[in-house]
Structure 1
Amino acid sequence: MVVPASGSSRYLREDERIHIADRLREKATVRAIVAELGRSPSTISREIRRNRHPGSGACRPHAAQARADARRPRPKPRKVLQNPQLREAVQAMLDEKWSPEQICHALRAKFPDRPEMHVVHETVYQALYIQGRGQLRRELAGALRSGRARRRPQRQANRRQTRFTTPMVMISDRPAEAEDRAVPGHWEGDLVIGKDGKSAIGTLVERATRYVMLLHLPGNHSTEAVLTALTSSVQTLPAQLMRSLTWDQGTEMARHGEFTLATDIPVYFCDPASPWQRGPNENTNGLLRQYFPKGTDLSVHDPDHLAAIADQLNRRPRKTLGWETPAERLHKLLAA
């Protein structure tokens, strides 16, 4: 019998859980499963950790789907509604004009050993704003400092201002050859920020080889400074290493259209809050903190010092490259 897929795309479907179980039996890595399903690494890792049998180590997808469906019924009974003492305590604090966040911390301090009396501030907001539940008197919404009777979402997609003049091309449109790392020339970029956000160093990492280039940004990291440094750096590369650049949606790349015109390198942008889409770059930024600790002034490092650090990283053996160095792997791919 074919079990229909359940849940929205936000949640794993049963066919995805079956795929995970099958691939684990085949000794596939989590990273390989992530690439096949297009899910975040944390989603796959959490699914395996939560549903793996402690003895055999196998995943049971149908049982996992049943547990997931049981956890998801809506509407769920609300904590404030179920506990009269909690409801009275929250109501009394709202009468004193306390904010929901102040209330949640006060409850934890007053009842440290009673988790049933602990709530997060979102629980208080939901109790106030959802009509017809009866958790708290409706007029107590007036105790909130905003004075609004309805909740306003923090993110309103239809009102979001366009960040760049030139439309962004998203990472989903990036060539498949960049994803499988078979062809060199696809780069990921970011900024390492210094003390008080006033100084920065640009980082470029080649996806197939982990080869690193550092951008000197002595004065600031404005769009003009990043455009100039980025353009001059990539123009030193041979043509076969100038295929694409992937960046996050930072405002420093507002002039990405000019960069593409000057270098003929297309720029692709990651989805918001998705650092795993630039995994090699994020990992390299972590390695660079050994040289550039957080909270230090990065403007003191001159171009020669940055070049020496990049060279040291490019001569360091990497496990992900089978203990070859980025410089060796790049030379091998170019020769091939």
Structure 2
Amino acid sequence: MKKQNVDGSVVALTKSEPLTALVADIARWTTGCGEFQTPVPGLTFYHHDQPTEPKPGLTEPSICLIAQGAKRIHLEDETFDYDAHRYLLASVYLPTTYQVISASPGEPYLGLVLKFDMRELSRLMIDSNLPATRTRDIDRCMSTGEVTLPLLSAFQRLVALVNEPEDIPILAPMLHREILYRLLVGDQGDRLRQIAASGSRSHQVARAIEWLKTNFAQQLRIDELAGMANMSASSFHSHFRAMTSLSPLQYQKHLRLQEARRLMLAEDLDATRAAFQVGYESSSQFSREYSRLFGAPPLRDVNSLRQAAVGDDG
């Protein structure tokens, strides 16, 4: 990529320039540590002054880009490290454990997450006449890829919109679309095309995953889920694990426990009510599985999170 100076001369644009602008814009917008929603739809900033402990969570379909620092994410037995040179891509909802591994007060972790919808990718593939991937293998729905200059430049222009809110309604959708296009033609494009292509096995399983994300409190019936994907139960189970590293039952359990935690924190439900609301029939089983995932029983975990939030606010 090139840029034109005021004197008319043309020089090559390097990654350091948009990256420096990204660092400045994210640092300016984030006062203190934590998560910061922006006026740009789907765009969230993150700021941490020190490494963090591993935390279980749910990674949405998104691209995670780091301007400064480094992060690590665990998907069952797989580990993904990424920094300013590599982005993280998740193409379906995935239960993960994540932590910041490089941050300091002098050089804080500054990152962003941009959510996307698989339907956007499918439309973009059609509009741009991009071919579907030729591989028939089912790939994991999480990967890291190289942060190229065109991708970084598009992100820098999107982030700059937080300072120009009147431009967001017009320019943000265009830049969001440009970023998705850069992903589709980049080194992880095959993975995205595989899942975005209507009729592919990955796309069929992703539709079932989307249904499960919304209906996790219902009793899980593998035959019905497999039917949504037009597969046999055994084939669906195999493809589901290949994409998420989890069985459908394990995936449902993670979703239930994450939602129960949210209900106790945000809506002040007690453990028993939260357990039944997300589909558990046994409060003792809920407490046991909750402790296994979050490292403490429900009441102790929620109290600890609330105390930590008070400490952050202070």
Give TM class, smaller chain: under 0.3
Higher relative contact order (CA 8 A, sep 6+): 2
TM-score (norm 2): 0.23
Larger Rg: 1
